[in-house]
A and B are shown apart, each in its own frame.
Chain A
Amino acid sequence: MLAQDDFFLAPGIEWFHLGPVIALVSGALVLLVVGALTPRWPRGLYAYVTALTAAVAGGLAVFNWNDITDDGVSTLVGGALAFDTFAQMITITVCAATLLVALVTDDELRRAGKDGPEVYALFLIAATGAVVMGSANDLILLFLGLETLSLALYVLAASDRERPTSQEAGIKYFVLGGFASAFFLYGIALIYGGTQSTNIGEIIGSFQTSVLLDGKDTLVLAGIALLIVGLGFKVAAVPFHMWTPDVYQGAPTNVTAFMASVGKAGAFAAMLRVLVIALPFHRDDWRPAIWVLAVLSLVIGSVLAVVQTDVKRMLAYSSISHAGFILVGVEAAGHNAGELAPGDGMPSVLTYLLLYSVLTVGSFAVVSLVARNNGGDTSLDAFKGLAQRRPTIALALTVFLLAQAGVPLTSGFIAKWGVIQAAVEEESYAIAIIAMVAAVVAAFLYLRIMVSTWLETGAESTEREAVPFSTGVAVFSAAAFTLLIGVWPGWLLDAAESVTTYAK
């Protein structure tokens, strides 16, 4: 007979507050189950269901945001998830990027005759992983979110089975990613050894109550080092960036867009949760490491981007340099992590992630349009004469590139200005100056693409790029968002201010 356990207290489950996660998983399950039982859906329906799911999840996150501003932060399901505006902002970022990527994917898959529910289901599951990484209040859950996101990305990178480069990208990402996950997991184990908990709230508590003995914190320090290695790999910071160019170039372009937006947002969310929120007591130990990662990423990413001749590879290196910028914000957040007045670091990083996600999906959407017209060629030559063939698309690409370069009146300027301003406020002048110089170097790269697009003429025989409806909508709305934020950023910056109150 089963003995009744009187002391067991089941954790309460706040169903409505879990809405975004539930919506994303249900969308994926509907796609997989209904998709398996019914004949091929009419054109575009898979993509529209995915986009709708992402929109619903994002909308629920907005509702949650309102609840949080009214009732304050809390934790969900027995302290497993944090319910704060930080989590909701990451959720909104991830959902917006997923929505745009679904629209871009639609045409990409149908052209190749490979329309099916699996790719979309994996997008939604990966997005769930990123959302969980952003809201995890427990290192074990954070690791599960990381693995869900990463495993889905490995499969997606290899999903174009007719191209060997896609297979190569998948296997490279898988082997190296597995290695990085092992570092991350060992880091969690050591943190557990040092603090006797994996729950972020309890980890903070253990630092507040324990007396620091000699040698007491060596376990935690080693754990922090391993966690930084694992997270550095996931955000593609130099020197853990080796996989990025090959994987970004080899993966199908829509998947690359997803990796650069959702993958980065999830990984940076995890980094902020672990370093800034869980380990503020060791901020003086991890901040120099982040400083070095940021400077290396900025310099090496920008310089190597300039010498590439393939646009996808250029954008891959540029994503490394963007990771460097975001790390500048993380470093700034590290100066007063855990204090009551947390400074501008956190808001600037989250704003950067949202703006960069939209930008990068837009850029890769244009790349996918051009590549499809040239039989998969993404070299600079393929972009020659784009302005004569498709002036509106060329204009949209120019908007994205100018924004990535950080030109005023685009969202990229707001993003870069935010992190640099946060660094200056914390008197990290050296890193702010390096970031500005790197921005100038990187601007040269975006200029090269623009020169190709506008000033050089392509071969006479090149056909005009076909612009399918859904990709057109994605490109247009991303460009409109980029310009809108560039001109009218106030509301977003105000909203981002509130992310510094965390649940733990």
Chain B
Amino acid sequence: MDFVVFILASAMVIAGALGVVLRPNPVHAALSLVLTLFGVAVHFVALGAHFLAAVQVIVYAGAIVVLFLFVIMLLGVDKAEDLSIEPFPIQRPLAAVVGAGVSGLLVAAIVGAKDTIPEGTPLGADGDQNIRALARNLFSDHVFAFEFTSVLLIVAVAGTVLLTRKEKKGSA
């Protein structure tokens, strides 16, 4: 049963990811991203991380992708880019070779190590175990990282203001 769920969820993730890259229409690409995010949520459920799965669906699939869609539709980017111009003719085949090589090596590394990864400790069946474990992690080991994320958000705010505000002429 676990294995079937794993295969199905992984197929969703990969199909979605390929869709994001390959669909010529940006709206379709953004919708493919929803598929990927749902697949990841299914993986989370299969691992017993129900809270993370819910957050994944609500925040990512629900809010962020909808925002993507809004932006894409507001900007009116509904035509495909012409990707046939190629300054260096050799780079695409080369990229394919290097990409295949890197993924091959990574798969080999993970397959080689698959027996050495220890079993994780599953959380108890109790309903708030998940949230409690998460909170404990966030506010003890990773409290600085948690707070520092807010600094990262300041970059987003200041950057948006800097890149989009209207210039007043003749000041200074």
Contact = CB atoms under 8 A, between A and B. Distances in A.
Interface of A: 5, 8-11, 25, 28-29, 32, 40, 76-81, 110-116, 118-119, 121-122, 125-126, 128-129, 132, 138, 140-141, 144-145, 147-148, 151-152, 154-155, 158-159, 161, 190, 193-194, 196, 199, 213, 215-219, 221-222, 225
A151 B159 contact: yes
Contacts of B106: 222
Given A144-B148, A158-B163, A121 B140 contact: no
B73 interface: no
Contacts of B115: 215
B152 A148 contact: yes
A116 to B, nearest CB: 8
Contacts of A79: 141
6 contacts: A122-B162, A125-B154, A125-B155, A190-B109, A199-B141, A215-B116
Given A79-B141, A80-B141, A122-B158, A219 B109 contact: yes
B112 A218 contact: yes
B145 A155 contact: no
Contact of B170 (A78, A113, A155): A113
Contact of B105 (A112, A148, A161, A222): A222
B20 to A, nearest CB: 13
B65 to A, nearest CB: 18
Consensus secondary structure, chain A interface:
helix
A144 B139 CA distance: 17
Chain B interface main SS type = helix
B128 to A, nearest CB: 8
A114 to B, nearest CB: 7
Contacts of B161: 118
B2 interface: no
Nearest to A117: B158
Interface in B77-130: 105-106, 108-110, 112-113, 115-118
Contacts of A78: 140-141, 143-144
B122 to A, nearest CB: 15
Contacts of B108: 218
Contact of B155 (A110, A111, A116, A122): A122
Contacts of A40: 171
A159 B172 contact: no
A76 B141 CA distance: 11
A161 B166 CA distance: 10
A29 B149 contact: no
Contacts of B167: 113-114, 161
Given A121-B154, A155-B155, A215 B141 contact: no
B136 A155 contact: no
Contact of A122 (B109, B116, B144, B159): B159
A143 B112 CA distance: 27
B68 to A, nearest CB: 15
B63 interface: no
A10 B139 contact: yes
A118 B162 contact: yes
B171 A113 contact: yes
Contacts of B71: none
Nearest to B105: A222
Given A79-B141, A219-B113, 17 more contacts: A10-B140, A10-B143, A11-B141, A32-B158, A78-B144, A113-B169, A113-B171, A114-B172, A118-B158, A132-B148, A138-B142, A141-B142, A144-B149, A151-B152, A161-B167, A193-B110, A219-B117
